[in-house]
Homo-oligomer: A and B are copies of this chain.
Amino acid sequence: MHFTVISRILGILLMLFSLTLIPPVLVSLWFHDHNQVSFLIAFIITFAAGMVAWFPVHNVKQDLRTRDGFLVTALFWTVLGLFGSLPFMFSNGLNLSFTNAVFESLSGLTTTGATVITGLDTLPKSILYYRQQLQWLGGIGIIVIAVAILPMLGIGGMQLYRAETPGPVKDSKLTPRITETAKALFLIYLSLTVVCALSYWFAGMSLFDAICHAYATVAIGGFSTHDASMGFFQSETIHAICVFFMVVSGINFALHFYSWQDRRISNYFRDPEFQFYISAILVGCVLTIFLLYHYDVFNFTDSVGHGIFQLVSILTTTGFTTTDFSAWPSILPFMLLYFAFMGGCAGSTGGGIKVIRILLIFKQGIREIHRLIHPSAVIPIKVGSTSVSDRVVDAVWGFFSVYVFAYFMMFLVLVGTGLDVITAFFAVGACINNLGPGLGEVATHYGDMNETAKWVLCFAMLLGRLEVFTLLVLFSPMFWRR
């Protein structure tokens, strides 16, 4: 382990992160909500901490190696999560406990969107803005940092992409022009945000709400400035815009990159992961609408409206709501949660197991059946025209098993702390998939939960966002040897 390089990188990250505490100061001054001091204090502490980590080692010229990438990735989320919690502890009229502040901060950065706060509508604007911005930053982190920024700091690109996503790596063409690509990915992310915000604004949101919700939409975060979430805006246009941008943000950003570069929409439709993703959304919408209508929850028009919105919001793991879906007949929230387990495409801001892995598991399941019928046949697994190596196959099975195993262990611990079964089931599901809202006690917020449960759920959010194995590797004695 090269602790000096790691310290240097963390220092830079913290100082960069501290700069993001300046916009909330401006928001606070603009809206006169008297919260600028808490953000300034948080800025000073974070910047100073970054300086302390960076300055003693800023001259060290050492290359970061593959193995360090795991630690850097894990520290990125935990350390920023910790420092990001400072404004929540300092702010007037909020004064969250340490546990609650860390939960809110991690939930923002990992784009989970589970909140411990109620009464959003009356909260200082600067706090509201800060929560949304956390998600937006987390979203960039998810897409760009693993692919581009850390390699710029001296890490071989693909290895770290592997640290973020132990599953299949999408396109080897990303490696050589990693800096270029990073800029391009950021540009796409920014453009999407701007277009989304403008659309919301033109559709009737206030400029403040439009920017805030664009942040949370493109980051697949799901935080809102209103307790009623997207349901606050009684506009079908706004809901339709939201659905469109959630779907777009759930697509692999590398695919966006290549399609935008080539100016070819057809690139999307040739991508097997995209095909599977869109098919799942269509099948999910039809099922949801059918069940809503069948169980007489809404009339047909409302079944279509709420059905499409809620399916897309939960499948992509955004977590916005237009209605209290936790009151729907049990089969619906469970089915929606299943779709959240699939989640978005790899390389998107979405959570869950990721579409490409589900696609591979599906193909491997079919192969197992064919192998039983033709035991001596050699049947390769193909995604598009490329065969998937055995290593990738093993890694995907492993990912799925460990994911399921971790899920059920955390569920058991939550039940052990006294949560009722439904709450525990959905809370873990909502956190490990970086989804946000659940059922039962956590249908709207996580504030009333016991401390132990909150820390377990923080772990779940990290586990999901770190693609499980990045975190598990750190618990392996072999990792720390030599």
What is the CB-to-nearest-CB distance from A141 to chain B, in angstroms, rounded to a whole number?
Answer: 21
Instruction: Report which of B335, B412, B469 forms a contact with A412, defined as CB distance below 8 A.
Output: B335
Would you call A183 an interface residue if the criterion is a C-beta within 8 Å of the partner chain's C-beta atoms?
A: no
Known interface pairs A364-B398, A365-B401, A368-B394; A331-B473 also in contact (CB < 8 Å): no
Q: Inside 8 A of A66's CB, which chain B residues have their CB?
A: 375
Q: Say yes or no: is A421 at the interface (Cβ < 8 Å to chain B).
A: yes
B369 with A469: CB separation less than 8 A = yes
Count how many chain A residues have C-beta atoms less than 8 Å from C-beta atoms of the other chain. 55
Give a binary string over A171-197; 1 marks a CB under 8 Å from any B CB, 0 the rest: 000000000000000000000000000
| A280 CB to nearest B CB, Å | 14
Interface membership of A268, Cβ < 8 A:
no
A401 cross-chain contacts in B, Cβ below 8 A: 361, 364-365, 397, 400-401
Q: Which residues of B contact A41 (CB under 8 A)?
A: none
| Bound Cα distance A478, B367 (Å) | 11
Minimum distance in angstroms from A441 CB to a CB of chain B: 14
B469 touches A415 (CB 8 A): no
Given A365-B401, A401-B400: A338 in contact with B412 (beta carbons within 8 A): yes
Most-contacted residue by chain B among A155, A370, A398 (CB, 10 A): A398
Q: Does A334 contact B (CB under 8 A)?
A: yes
Q: Which residues of B contact A37 (CB under 8 A)?
A: none
A402 interfacial by beta-carbon distance below 8 Å: yes
- Residues of chain B within 8 A (CB-CB) of A130 are none
A263 CA to B330 CA, complexed, in Å: 56
Chain B's closest residue to A480 (CB) is B373
Contacting residues of chain A (358-380) with chain B, CB-CB under 8 angstroms? 361, 364-365, 367-375
User: Does A422 count as interface, using CB distance less than 8 angstroms?
Assistant: yes
- Closest B residue to A422 by beta carbon equals B421
Q: Does A404 interact with chain B (Cβ within 8 Å)?
A: yes
Decide yes or no whether A319 CB sits under 8 A from chain B: no
CB distance from A287 to the nearest CB of B (A): 10
Contacts of A394 in B (CB 8 A): 364, 367-368, 371, 393, 397
> A70 contacts the other chain (Cβ, under 8 Å)?
yes
Smallest CB separation, A338 vs chain B (Å)? 7
- With an 8 A cutoff between CB atoms, is A416 at the interface? yes
Contact of A330 among B399, B415, B472, B478 (CB under 8 A): B415
- Whether B473 contacts A397 by the Cβ 8 Å rule is no
A278 at interface, CB cutoff 8 A = no
Contact A371 B391 (CB under 8 A): yes
A62 part of interface (Cβ distance < 8 Å) = no
Q: Which residue of B lies closest to A419 (CB)?
A: B330
User: Are A372 and B408 touching (Cβ within 8 A)?
Assistant: no
Tell me if B67 and A373 are in contact (CB < 8 A): yes
A411 to B390, CA, bound (A): 32
**B residues in contact with A397, CB < 8 Å:** 364, 394, 397-398, 400-401
Q: Mark A447-482, 1 if CB is under 8 A from B, else 0.
A: 000000000000000000000010011001011000
A166 at the interface (CB under 8 A from B): yes
Whole-angstrom distance from the CB of A477 to the nearest CB of chain B?
A: 10
The residue of chain B having its C-beta at the shortest distance from the C-beta of A152 within the complex is B375
Residues of B within 8 A of A365 (CB): 398, 401-402, 405
Quote the shortest CB–CB distance from A161 to chain B (angstroms).
13
- Whether B338 and A479, one on each chain, are in contact in the complex, defined by CB atoms closer than 8 angstroms, is no
Q: A203 within 8 Å of B by Cβ? A: no
Nearest-neighbour CB distance to chain B for A443, whole angstroms, equals 14
Contact with B along A329-356 (1 / 0, CB 8 A): 0110011001000000000000000000
CB of A473 within 8 A of CB of B154, answer no
A153 interface contact, C-beta 8 A: yes
Interface presence of A395 (CB below 8 A): yes
A155 near B372 (CB under 8 angstroms)?
A: yes
The complex places the Cα of A397 from the Cα of B396 at a distance, in Å, of 9
In the complex where A397-B364, A415-B331 touch, is A372 in contact with B421 (Cβ < 8 A)?
A: no
Q: Pick the contact of A473 from B70, B372, B402, B479 — CB < 8 Å? A: B372
Supplied contacts A334-B412, A365-B398, A390-B390, 11 more A-B pairs, CB within 8 Å: A154-B375, A162-B372, A334-B411, A338-B408, A368-B395, A369-B469, A371-B395, A374-B478, A397-B397, A397-B400, A421-B422
- Which A residues fall within an 8 A CB radius of B? 66-67, 70, 153-155, 162-163, 166, 291, 330-331, 334-335, 338, 361, 364-365, 367-375, 390-391, 393-395, 397-402, 404-405, 408, 411-412, 415-416, 420-422, 425, 469, 472-473, 476, 478-479
Supply 6 A–B pairs (Cβ within 8 Å), ascending by A. Answer: A154-B371, A338-B412, A364-B397, A364-B398, A390-B390, A397-B398
